[in-house]
Amino acid sequence: MMAEARIIAILRGITPAECVEQVACLRDHGISTVEITTNSPEWVTSLQRLDEAFGDEVTVGAGTVLTPEHVNTCAAAGAKFILTPNLDLRVIGAAKRQGLAVCAGVMTPSEIFTACEAGADVLKIFPASAVPENYPQMIKGPLSLPVRFSAVGGVDMDNAAAYLRYYDSVGIGSALYRPGQPVTTTAARCARWLESRP
């Protein structure tokens, strides 16, 4: 499940032709939660191919989800969760109606409380590099319910372990995958993560 993942691979810019091979590499290195962003080429086709290729073996979601229409398309393509860069109650509501888990992009205390009330499963602090690494620890005090936090934006192989001291998960994008890179590069970056993870 997305909410239980420690690392989410953000595959921005990936194409249908390479997505299965790249995700197989991630899976073989213990990364089984991946995000296909909606600004990637033919992203719907990539979601469909990954759903067909891996089923429940890999948890595949869609990122940069901006509208309820996006949500409906994601659900039809086989996504299991969505991630948003911002707080949009329409998008959270649409995802809940579709049975999708939601990782909602938030920053301020007001956004955090609003996202919790709306039923977000994970709070995505974005960009995480703009606030102290212990930001969730400072925010959790006033929250009445247990909340899971994910750090996204500025997280890489060198600082992921530091973020995971305070966050439940991290999302890693270009430090793990860049469009068109060979699988051997992805494998090397995964190995680096395995060496540094807490």
So which residues are the catalytic ones?
A: 35, 124
- Give all strands (DSSP E) within 20-136, no chain letters: 33-37, 59-63, 81-83, 101-106, 122-125
128-133: list long-range contacts, CB under 8 Å, 24+ apart: 128/152, 128/153, 128/154, 128/155, 128/163, 128/167, 128/170, 129/153, 129/154, 129/155, 130/154, 131/107, 133/159, 133/162, 133/163, 133/165, 133/166
Q: How far apart are CA 162 and CA 138, in angstroms?
A: 16
Q: How far apart are CA 133 and CA 138, in angstroms?
A: 10
- The two tokens of residue 60 are 């595949």
- The two tokens of residue 29 are 């290195």
